[in-house]
Amino acid sequence: MIDNKLISYVLLCCALQLILCGCSPAFYTYWAPRAEGGKLSSHGQLAHSNSVEFIFDGVNVSFTGQGTFVGMSLYNPKGKSVAFTSDKVDVYTPEKRQVVFDVRSYSTKPDGGDHFNPTVMLQLTFYTTHINFSDSEKTVYRIKMPNIIVNGKIYTIPEIEFTKGKGVGVFG
């Protein structure tokens, strides 16, 4: 039989550790991604995966879903030439519509970033964007990005589905 004092001691130690580490459990909402060939992650949190990333010839492209937009980051660690074949994303909510996007780089202007057309060769290290597609929150949707060109070679980014979920995670 387990002693109630032992259980209380273990719970107290766990709570103290969370407080001292600056981490705490919390309920949260996330949009779980699903895509063929993508690597799932949760951006350093002990939580459900809310991002999917793809690597094409060393260039990392990551997508994080939300209810009204998808965040994208593009990391180009070796200064390769990168571009998208179009500045339009297909979004299915479930009806299909195209959304125009641009990218921002904070490499040249840290206070707000410079905007770039994604179809022009991108040679800086880091770019981000929000692909806004709705005024009302969606619980399930899919996106199909245009192809990406890295150093002259064309790669296909698989279609990504995002599904709303609720969970408990440890954040710090």
Domains of the chain with CATH codes: 24-171 (2.60.40)
CB atoms within 10 A of CB 33: 23
- At 86-112, the pLDDT tens digits run 999 999 999 999 999 999 987 666 666
Pairing of strands 88-92, 96-100: antiparallel
Pairing of strands 88-92, 103-105: unpaired
Side-chain-facing half-sphere of 22: CA atoms under 13 Å: 2
pLDDT of residue 13: 47
pLDDT of residue 134: 93
Strand order through the sheet with 140-144? 24-34, 160-171, 140-144, 88-92, 96-100
pLDDT of residue 23: 59
CB within 8 Å of 161: residues ≥ 6 apart: 33, 34, 35, 140, 141, 142
pLDDT of residue 65: 93
Ranges of the chain with pLDDT below 70: 1-26, 42-48, 107-112, 169-172
Instruction: Give the span between the Cα atoms of 155 and 111, in whole angstroms.
Output: 32
| Both structure tokens of 146 | 């245009």
- β-partners of residue 41 are 51
- pTM flag (> 0.85): no
The single-letter code of the amino acid at 137 is E
Instruction: Give the span between the Cα atoms of 33 and 98, in whole angstroms.
Output: 20
The single-letter code of the amino acid at 154 is I
